């Protein structure tokens, strides 16, 4: 790998920042310490951060004069999980953990900001650093947009460290890279009774099992097998005792798809199935479906820009995408302006891929990835703002 010398010079800073953020994680819209630390660091670089953007977000600009404005974004929030990684810098906040790499995202963007704040490379244009709260479900990007973080911005770029790729790979592609992420809740009401006398009941657990099985036929029989879509029932609540037929069961889950037409198809077919099962068993079923993040869809020219910048860092290992059915609120930025969201391989050293997946309690990363990301950012900014004659 060709890591930028400026990044190598501040490697210890980047790692230290990441570990500090990891040690003190905060949930969405509660990133008060995190944003304070970021603001103080940006000030130490000679920048003038704008605080409390999108509630707890931070932005800062570097102005090199006339030219385009390029935004670089990192998310800040952690997850409501108890950490079991055993790391020396494991979370000190009970029940909260950086289990998706946002600690690394912030550290990488701070590294790029420190180097660019000292740049004497004849750049022309403006760079906006966006530190966004509440990516994990609350849609912090929308709050940032509403507070003007994209005002006058021409293009936006973002990184996600990726434990499903080894260090030294950068995943980037045009078009959809992450799926829409919708949610649903179902409440089934029936008639409870004794487990030995089911004939007078409406067994909500039986009803729930039929729904769960039938939903999977939407994927296997209503969507194109060459297209990706997922329905997952992730939570079931019901029952009181081994010999009691429950009168209520609650289900909740998620729907993932790259195409808007599939989001609508799946929702419609779920309604059809619920109506049919309701009639078949005589149950009363309520269904709430919430549209979540839209698909994350990269734009053609920004993808080419990232690919060019990444090739200078990792060579032929640039452009090796690992597509995911995960969701990201970076999608909202890409609905407003051109941009690219890309992945930096971070699978822990000497570990098999998928052994420490995102959102698991023992999540960690190979910290060598923390040098790849900002190196790509620096090459990207030089390419975009350094060739404007």
Determine which one of 75, 135, 328, 382 is catalytic. 135
Mean pLDDT, all residues of the chain: 96
The predicted structure's pLDDT at residue 387:
63
Q: How many CA atoms lie within 13 A of 182 on its CB side?
A: 23
| pLDDT above 90 coverage of the chain, percent | 93
Confidence of residue 389 (pLDDT cuts 50, 70, 90): very low
The predicted structure's pLDDT at residue 1:
75
Q: How far is the C-alpha of 302 from the C-alpha of 282, rounded, in Å?
A: 54
pLDDT per residue as tens digits for the range 249-301: 999 999 999 999 999 999 999 999 999 999 999 999 999 999 999 999 999 99
CA 183 vs CA 42, 219, 237, 263, 355: distances in Å:
37, 16, 16, 11, 27
The predicted structure's pLDDT at residue 355:
81
The closest alpha carbon to 198, from 246, 248, 128, 158, belongs to 246
Answer whether residue 222 shows pLDDT above 70.
yes
Global confidence as pTM: 0.92
Q: How far is the C-alpha of 344 from the C-alpha of 333, rounded, in Å?
A: 20
CA 280 vs CA 2, 185, 264, 283: distances in Å:
64, 20, 24, 8
Q: How far is the C-alpha of 211 from the C-alpha of 215, rounded, in Å?
A: 6
Domain architecture of the chain: domains with CATH:
5-178+295-385 (3.40.630.10), 180-293 (3.30.70.360)
pLDDT per residue as tens digits for the range 113-155: 999 999 877 899 999 999 999 999 899 999 999 999 999 999 9
DSSP alpha helices (H): ranges in 298-368?
300-314, 330-336
Q: What is the mean pLDDT of residues 196-213?
A: 98
Q: Which residues are within 8 A (CB) of 173 and not within 5 positions of it... i.e. 6 or more apart?
A: 298, 303, 319, 321, 323
Whose structure tokens read 């640039």? 318
Per the annotation, the verdict on 135 as an active-site residue is yes
The predicted structure's pLDDT at residue 321:
77
Per the annotation, the verdict on 94 as an active-site residue is no
Answer whether residue 351 shows pLDDT above 70.
no
Q: What is the mean pLDDT of residues 357-367?
A: 95
Is residue 82 helix, strand or coil?
Answer: coil
Q: What is the mean pLDDT of residues 235-240?
A: 96
Determine which one of 26, 30, 77, 169 is catalytic. 77
Q: Where is 385: in which H helix or E strand?
A: helix 369-385
């Amino acid at each position: 790998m060709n890591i930028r010398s400026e990044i190598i010079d501040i490697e210890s800073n980047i790692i230290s920042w990441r570990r500090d953020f990891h040690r003190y994680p905060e949930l969405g819209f509660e990133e008060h310490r995190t944003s304070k630390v970021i603001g103080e660091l940006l000030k130490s670089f000679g920048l003038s951060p704008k605080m409390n953007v999108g509630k707890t977000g931070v932005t800062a600009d570097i102005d090199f004069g006339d030219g385009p404005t390029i935004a670089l974004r990192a998310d800040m929030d952690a997850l409501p999980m108890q950490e079991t990684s055993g790391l020396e810098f494991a979370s000190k906040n009970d029940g909260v953990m950086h289990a998706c790499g946002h600690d690394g995202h912030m550290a990488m963007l701070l590294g790029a900001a420190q180097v660019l704040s000292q740049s004497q490379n004849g750049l022309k244009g403006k760079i906006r650093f966006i530190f966004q709260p509440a990516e994990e479900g609350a849609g912090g990007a929308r709050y940032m947009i509403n507070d003007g973080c994209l005002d006058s911005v021409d293009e936006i770029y973002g990184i996600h460290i990726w434990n499903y790729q080894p260090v030294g790979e950068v995943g980037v592609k045009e078009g959809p890279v992450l799926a829409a992420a919708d949610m649903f809740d179902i409440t089934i009401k029936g008639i409870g009774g004794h487990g030995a006398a089911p004939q007078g009941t409406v067994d909500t657990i039986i009803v729930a099992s039929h729904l769960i099985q039938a939903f999977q036929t939407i994927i296997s029989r209503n969507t194109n097998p060459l297209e990706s879509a997922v329905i997952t029932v992730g939570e079931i609540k019901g029952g009181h005792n081994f010999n009691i037929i429950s009168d209520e069961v609650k289900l909740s889950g998620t729907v993932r798809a790259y195409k808007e037409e599939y989001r609508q198809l799946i929702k419609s077919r779920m309604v059809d199935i619920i109506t049919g099962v309701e009639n078949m068993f005589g149950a009363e079923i309520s269904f709430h479906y919430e549209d979540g993040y839209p698909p994350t869809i990269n734009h053609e020219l920004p993808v080419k820009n990232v690919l060019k910048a990444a090739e200078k860092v990792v060579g032929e290992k640039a452009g090796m995408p690992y597509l995911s059915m995960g969701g990201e609120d970076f999608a909202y930025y890409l609905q407003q302006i051109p941009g690219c969201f890309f992945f930096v391989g971070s699978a822990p050293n000497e570990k098999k891929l998928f052994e420490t997946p995102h959102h698991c309690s023992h999540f960690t990363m190979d910290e060598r990835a923390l040098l790849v990301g900002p190196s790509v950012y620096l090459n990207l900014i030089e390419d975009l703002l350094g060739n404007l004659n």
